[in-house]
A and B are shown apart, each in its own frame.
Chain A
Amino acid sequence: MVKSAHNLKQMFSRFRLPTLLVLCSILSACASTNTITIGGSYPSPLVPQLPLTLGVIYNESFSSYSFTEVDEYSGEDQYIINSGASQVDLFSTILPAVFSEVIYLNSLDEAAAYPDLDMIFEPVIEEFQIGLPQKTRLDVYEIWVKYNMRLSSPNGNSIADWVMTAYGKSPQSNFGSVDAGVNEAAIEAFRDLAATFSLGFTSIPEVNNWLQINNVM
């Protein structure tokens, strides 16, 4: 009886470390944050090109934009969505289609080196929201983004400053994972922005006014 109890104790101590490791890995998996990096391609818009040279500034907060969704029950980070690189890709596709020449600048100070510049554009992300089916009780993943578009002359004077929103959704049934669903919703949102920007740019009152004063339209 004593021997069998000893054997049992020996067996438990042999499995203690592997069991502990498995338990820890399960617990850490439950608490881990899922990082989603948005990736995709965007079509070039079919719009008449404006005969303008545009300077573009993607500031650090835009090009490396990341949004963190916090779990409302635990208060811990649930998803980190990196969309900066994809948004740079998006604007780098739209702008050369809308403007005859695009020059990428690191800051406004570099504008002086390009005398042909007509205007300088700087997109800023003001808000980013995500809708997950488990929270919204809808059968779709949703992404909503609010942008502030800033357009200035090469000397820094503001031409226009306007807000644009983008919305995209993807049906939950189409995707086996949250990553794929969120990615598709984000791509749809960025396409939505590209569509409204490329079709509506010349209709922004301040932009339209500037284009008419400068005989572009």
Chain B
Amino acid sequence: MEHLKQLIKAPLLISLLAALSACTTTEIDQFRQADTEISGDESIVILGRRQSNSYETELDFVECVGNVVAAGNDGINVIPEETFLDEMFPFFEPRTAPMRTDHLEQLMRQDIAVKKLEEFGVEYIVWLDGLTQRSGESGSISCAVGPGGGGCFGFGTWTDDSNFEAEIWDMDTLSSAGAISADANGQSYLPAIIIPIPFLARVESNVCSGMGQQLKSFLNGSV
């Protein structure tokens, strides 16, 4: 009987941890200031804010949101960030990029910049700003290797917290059309019994997916 209990205990623990790993909460908020609409021949560009000294919006996250917005039957043309930054150089670099819509108005007084933006067919500029932070790291894992083999034993856990905001600028009216914010957090676990088995909370990918879907609906004018 005792042996049976022991046999059940390990898979039960693993199942419990797997269930816990799915515990990621995501919250998406939207604030609309103007109506939006986009046609098939128009495009958007999603740019990451990189002015802060302590962090910068990751290129991978910007690309991830862009992929979600571009996917599906209702997908929108998204200009790749790197292509846009190089072609529009030096107007959207960290130190020269417009921070507010009145800065955008100043930029649009320069014919050379306007001509290039028209070539791209940019209808909306989306500014993504945010980061994922790790906290509450605890536990320890020790690994050892010997003549007969090796293995790890221990337990580690941590919390990931993602906060991102997307600000949408309308290039026709040169004003803000609205903003979408996404917050998510989740606990990850790493038990190690001979081999480490990670149960990772997919915090940033959940935010990417949620933010991308909401952004697509927002720009298509369906929400």
**Chain A contact residues, CB within 8 Å of chain B:** 43-48, 138-140, 167, 169, 171, 173-174, 188, 191-192, 194-196, 198-199
**What are 22 of the A-B contact pairs (CB < 8 Å)?**
A43-B87, A46-B87, A46-B89, A46-B90, A46-B113, A47-B90, A48-B112, A167-B95, A169-B56, A174-B58, A174-B59, A191-B90, A192-B93, A192-B94, A192-B95, A194-B89, A194-B90, A195-B90, A195-B93, A196-B90, A196-B95, A199-B96
**Chain B contact residues, CB within 8 Å of chain A:** 53-56, 58-60, 85-91, 93-96, 112-113, 116
Provide the residues of chain B in CB contact with A46, threshold 8 Å: 87-91, 112-113, 116
Shortest distance from the beta carbon of B71 to any chain A beta carbon, whole Å? 24
Q: Which of B86, B87, B88 has the most CB of A within 10 A?
A: B86
Provide the residues of chain B in CB contact with A167, threshold 8 Å: 95
Shortest distance from the beta carbon of A77 to any chain B beta carbon, whole Å? 28
Which of A45, A139, A173 has a CB less than 8 Å from the CB of B90?
A45
Are A195 and B113 also in contact (CB < 8 A) when A46-B88, A138-B54, A174-B58 are? no
Shortest distance from the beta carbon of A198 to any chain B beta carbon, whole Å? 5
Q: How many A-B residue pairs have CB under 8 A?
A: 52
Provide the residues of chain A in CB contact with B85, threshold 8 Å: 43
Report the separation of the CA atoms of residues A144 and B58 in the bound assembly, to the nearest whole angstrom.
21
Report the separation of the CA atoms of residues A174 and B59 in the bound assembly, to the nearest whole angstrom.
9
Provide the residues of chain B in CB contact with A43, threshold 8 Å: 85-87, 89
Which of B58, B87, B91, B93 has a CB less than 8 Å from the CB of A171?
B58
Provide the residues of chain A in CB contact with B113, threshold 8 Å: 46
Are A195 and B96 also in contact (CB < 8 A) when A46-B113, A48-B112 are? yes
Provide the residues of chain A in CB contact with B90, threshold 8 Å: 45-47, 191, 194-196, 198-199
**Shortest Cβ distance from A142 into B: residue:** B53
Provide the residues of chain B in CB contact with A140, threshold 8 Å: 56
Provide the residues of chain A in CB contact with B54, threshold 8 Å: 138
Shortest distance from the beta carbon of B176 to any chain A beta carbon, whole Å? 24
Shortest distance from the beta carbon of A46 to any chain B beta carbon, whole Å? 6
Report the separation of the CA atoms of residues A174 and B89 in the bound assembly, to the nearest whole angstrom.
23
Provide the residues of chain A in CB contact with B93, threshold 8 Å: 191-192, 195
Shortest distance from the beta carbon of B62 to any chain A beta carbon, whole Å? 13
**Shortest Cβ distance from A198 into B: residue:** B90
